[in-house]
């Protein structure tokens, strides 16, 4: 199965109006950058069977942008495993529960997306290859039976460049 780990787009900072982390929404730059990354994935003919995201506003908005650009007709589901602070093991359980899908997107937060990636790939050597800036995407080919993933590519949102293994 293909697992796409995506960090949410850039969001507004906490201030007098936005006083809780969960209510931070995408800023204009975050919306634009997320759309640009989604367009790049569209050129690669990327399709998701389902999109999972953290229930926090900025992750849901990121999911909606990807879904719109990629003409995603499937579901967008929020899941607590992507809120943050959950272990790679709980994240793997989410993947295993949904192993009937061929391609899933998981939109979450830093530093969790890195930890989830390391947990799926079973390799901490990926750290030099990836910096999960906002809207960045890591594609992993994950073998459910072997519980092992393979790094396919990392799309860096800040440079709009792809890193292959």
Give the model's confidence band at 121: pLDDT under 50 very low, under 70 low, under 90 confident, else very high.
confident
Residue 60, both tokens: 């849901």
Give the model's confidence band at 58: pLDDT under 50 very low, under 70 low, under 90 confident, else very high.
very high
> Where does 2-164 sit in CATH, by number?
3.40.50.1240
Q: Is 0.85 topped by the overall pTM? A: yes
% of the chain residues with pLDDT over 90: 76
Count the alpha carbons within 13 Å of 135 in the hemisphere toward its beta carbon: 28
Give the pLDDT mean for 42-70. Answer: 97
Is it the case that residue 128 has pLDDT exceeding 70? no
CA dihedral 131→137→143→146, nearest 10 degrees, is: 20
**What pLDDT does 50 receive?**
98
Q: Where are the alpha helices (DSSP H) in 8-165?
A: 28-43, 57-69, 88-97, 112-121
**CB 10 within 8 Å of CB 26:** yes
**CB 76 within 8 Å of CB 22:** no
Residue that wins the pLDDT comparison between 131 and 18 = 131
Q: What are the residue boundaries of the structural domains of the chain, listed by start?
A: 2-164
* Phi, psi angles (nearest 5°) of residue 125: -75, 0
* Phi, psi angles (nearest 5°) of residue 121: -85, -15
Per-residue pLDDT tens over the stretch 142-157: 999 999 999 999 999 9
Other Cβ atoms within 10 Å of 78 Cβ, number:
16
**CB 35 within 8 Å of CB 52:** no
Give the model's confidence band at 23: pLDDT under 50 very low, under 70 low, under 90 confident, else very high.
confident
């Amino acid at each position: 199965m293909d697992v796409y780990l995506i960090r949410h787009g850039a969001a507004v900072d906490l201030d007098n109006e936005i006083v809780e982390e969960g209510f931070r929404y995408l800023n204009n730059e975050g919306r634009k950058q997320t759309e640009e990354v989604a367009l790049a994935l569209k050129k690669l003919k990327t399709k998701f069977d389902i999109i999972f995201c953290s229930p926090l506003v900025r992750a849901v908005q990121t999911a909606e942008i990807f879904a719109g650009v990629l003409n995603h007709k499937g579901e967008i589901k929020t899941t607590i495993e992507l809120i943050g602070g959950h272990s790679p093991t709980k994240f793997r359980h989410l993947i295993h529960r949904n192993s009937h899908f061929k391609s899933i997107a998981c939109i979450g937060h830093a530093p969790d997306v890195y930890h989830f990636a390391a947990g799926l790939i079973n390799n901490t050597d990926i750290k030099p290859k990836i910096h999960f800036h906002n809207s960045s995407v890591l594609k992993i080919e994950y073998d459910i039976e072997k519980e092992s993933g393979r790094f396919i590519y990392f799309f860096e949102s800040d440079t709009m460049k792809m890193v292959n293994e």
